[in-house]
């Protein structure tokens, strides 16, 4: 199963707090019992309850003036921080952390809340000493320093990265309690770097080069084989995220980005690219990140993340009140642009088009919204998206019919949130 190096932590970790609640401005409260989750998706992905160990901020802790117009405010600072009243945080374990999708707005994920998945910790790397080696089937094997990589023509693009194990807990039963737990292994950033194709042209690719090994400078020397032709179209060697240098947990100082592909091929702390004639068959593309089918065969090199959406508000763990509720969510496709999102407020009997926030970008989060009036009756909310290839997000039943329940990766079925009569929202399978 997925990295069991975490199990020890899961056993030794502290118990989660069951009453972590934060106020929300739209009348929706978030109350999460994380304990059940930790036995499900989180255990699968190695998440533990370190949440409880994090310093907890309370609204009372800052000295809040009665009237902020009557006292001078704080001076400027060298590096800004969010308001002490804001508490959205990742659900963090020893080798992964989940983005709190239900607490975020728009399409960009703050770098501090970008999900993490690493295979033996976050390395500490001095950018002045970091080099990228490119070798194998090239005319001129070369090293590049970070300064040199930054001198190449730069390009920025906004794109999501999704772990292929995102929603892995949902194959068998509705395990995640919140959108963070069911879908939080995805985030979107503006990434800046140089196109891989430009750098490879500098070295001269040999005509028989068809695959590329990418390797990280972490303690797992994380390694994936990538087919060269599709990678040359869009792959970026990134050094910046949302305007500043990459965060350490996102690969500082250099990571690969292949927009739309499963996150683990976007090798972080990138130090080596080797061109070859065939896949290198590393552990991370044979024993892991392969999808076991009911007939006992396993699919290999399943790169693109297919179209998927989730309603982030109202979502699991939240509480709604009768009256106007704006249904909000995120949709994305690793195959291109999202062309349509439909919302059902009656458990899939009828569907209506949601509004898409512009700009709608290829291989990027797309924010959708749908105005709704809750009449206080029990119901089920769902969203389903389509992309420019004509692909439509499938139901869980359709997905499981083809792939069974043991493939772990690439789960992209329609998510169902049940609204109880008391306004509580729960994850269900329909």
Q: Which residues pair with 138 in a beta bridge?
A: 205
Number of residues that make up the chain = 430
CA distances 104 to 107, 109, 181, Å, are 8, 7, 14
The yes or no reply on residue 229 touching other proteins (CB under 8 A) is: no
Report if residue 210 touches other proteins, rule: CB under 8 A: no
Instruction: Kindly identify the residues of this chain, within the stretch 76-95, that bind other proteins according to CB under 8 A.
Output: none
Closer residue to other proteins, CB minimum distance, 109 or 290: 290
Residues in 374-413 at the binding interface with other proteins, rule: CB under 8 A:
384, 391-395, 398-399, 401-403, 406
Tokens of residue 25, six digits: 């401005």
- Minimum CB–partner distance for residue 197 and other proteins (Å): 12
Using DSSP's 3-state secondary structure scheme, residue 323 falls into strand
- Binding marks (x or -) toward other proteins, 11..50, rule CB under 8 A? x---------------------------------------
Cα separation, 34 vs 100, in Å, equals 13
* Identified binder of other proteins from the candidate list 183, 271, 337, 367, rule CB under 8 A: 271
Nearer to other proteins, 22 or 152 (CB): 152
Nearest approach, Cβ of residue 11 and other proteins (Å): 8
C-beta closer to other proteins: residue 109 or 335: 335
Which positions from 275 through 304 interact with other proteins, judged by CB under 8 A?
A: 276, 278, 280-283, 286-287, 290, 292-304
Which CB sits closer to other proteins, 104 or 399?
A: 399
φ and ψ at 240, to 5 degrees?
-140, 150
Verify binding: residue 8, other proteins, rule CB under 8 A: yes
Cα–Cα dist 58/132, whole Å: 44
Write out the binding residues for other proteins, residues 94-123 only, by CB under 8 A: 119-120
On whether the CB atoms of residues 297 and 158 are closer than 8 A, the answer is no
- Stretch of residues binding other proteins (CB under 8 A), selected from 26-34, 51-59, 247-255, 269-277: 269-277
400, containing H or E segment: helix 396-403
Among 117, 272, 308, 367, binds other proteins (CB under 8 A): 272
Residue 69 burial (10 A CB sphere; 0-12, 13-18, 19+): exposed
Helix (H/G/I), strand (E/B), else coil: 364: coil
**DSSP string spanning 235-272?**
-EEEEEETTEEPPGGGTTT-EEE-TTBBGGGS-SSEEE
**Whole-number CA gyration radius for the chain:** 22
Q: Which of 88, 155, 221, 380 binds other proteins (CB under 8 A)?
A: 221
Least distance from other proteins to the Cβ atom of residue 108, Å:
28
- The contact pattern for other proteins, residues 156-195, with x = CB under 8 A and - = no contact, is ----------------------------------------
Distance CA 32, CA 48 (A): 15
**Strand pairing class (131-136; 270-276):** parallel
Backbone torsions φ then ψ of 45, nearest 5 degrees: -100, 0
Contact 114, 255 (CB under 8 A): no
Nearer to other proteins, 22 or 145 (CB): 145
Residue closer to other proteins (CB basis): 27 or 230: 230
Residue 124 interacts with other proteins (CB under 8 A)? no
Q: Does 350 bind other proteins (CB under 8 A)?
A: no
> How far does Cα 282 stand from its chain's mean position?
23
How far is the C-alpha of 15 from the C-alpha of 259, rounded, in Å? 37
> CB count, 10 Å around CB of 349?
9
CB of 318 to other proteins, least distance (A): 28
Q: How many residues bind other proteins (CB under 8 A)?
A: 68
Reading the block at residue 323, the tokens are 């009256």
Residues forming the site for other proteins (CB under 8 A):
1, 3-5, 7-8, 11, 119-120, 133, 135, 140-144, 148-149, 151-152, 198, 201-203, 213, 215, 219-221, 223, 271-272, 274, 276, 278, 280-283, 286-287, 290, 292-304, 306, 384, 391-395, 398-399, 401-403, 406
């Amino acid at each position: 199963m997925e990295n069991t190096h975490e199990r020890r932590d899961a056993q030794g970790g502290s118990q989660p707090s069951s009453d972590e609640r934060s106020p929300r401005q739209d009348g929706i409260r978030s109350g999460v019992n994380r304990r059940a989750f930790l036995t499900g998706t989180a255990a699968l992905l190695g998440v533990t309850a370190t949440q409880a160990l994090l310093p907890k901020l309370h609204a009372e802790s800052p000295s809040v003036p009665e009237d902020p117009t009557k006292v001078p405010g704080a001076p400027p600072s060298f590096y800004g921080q969010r308001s002490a009243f804001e508490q959205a945080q990742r659900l963090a374990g020893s080798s992964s952390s989940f983005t709190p999708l239900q607490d975020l707005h728009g399409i960009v994920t703050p770098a501090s809340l970008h999900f993490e998945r690493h295979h033996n910790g976050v390395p500490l790397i001095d950018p002045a000493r970091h080099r990228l080696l490119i070798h194998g089937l090239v005319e001129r094997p070369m090293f590049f320093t970070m300064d040199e990589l930054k001198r190449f023509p730069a390009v920025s693009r906004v794109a999501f990265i999704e772990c292929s194990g995102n929603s892995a807990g949902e194959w068998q039963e509705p395990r995640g309690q919140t959108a963070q737990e069911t879908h939080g292994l995805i985030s979107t950033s503006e990434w800046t770097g140089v196109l891989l194709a430009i750098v490879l042209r500098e070295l001269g690719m040999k005509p028989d080069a068809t695959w590329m090994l990418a390797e990280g400078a972490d303690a797992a020397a994380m390694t994936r084989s990538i087919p060269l032709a599709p990678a040359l179209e869009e792959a970026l060697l990134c050094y910046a995220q949302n305007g500043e240098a990459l965060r350490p947990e996102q690969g500082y100082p250099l990571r690969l980005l292949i927009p739309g592909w499963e996150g683990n091929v976007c090798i972080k702390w990138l130090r080596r690219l080797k061109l070859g004639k065939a896949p290198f068959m590393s552990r991370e593309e044979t024993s892991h990140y392969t999808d076991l089918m009911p007939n006992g065969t396993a699919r290999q090199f399943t790169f693109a993340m297919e179209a998927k959406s989730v309603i982030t508000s109202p979502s699991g763990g939240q509480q709604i009140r009768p009256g106007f509720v704006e249904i909000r969510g995120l949709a994305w496709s690793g195959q291109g642009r999202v062309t349509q999102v439909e919302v059902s407020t009656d458990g899939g009997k009828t569907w209506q088009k949601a509004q898409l926030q512009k700009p709608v970008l290829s291989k990027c989060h797309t924010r959708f919204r749908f105005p709704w009036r809750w009449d206080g009756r029990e119901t089920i909310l769902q969203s389903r998206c389509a992309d420019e290839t004509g692909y439509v997000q499938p139901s869980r039943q359709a997905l499981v019919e083809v792939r069974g329940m043991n493939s772990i990766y690439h789960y992209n079925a329609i998510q169902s949130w049940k609204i109880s009569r008391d306004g509580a929202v729960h994850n269900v399978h329909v």
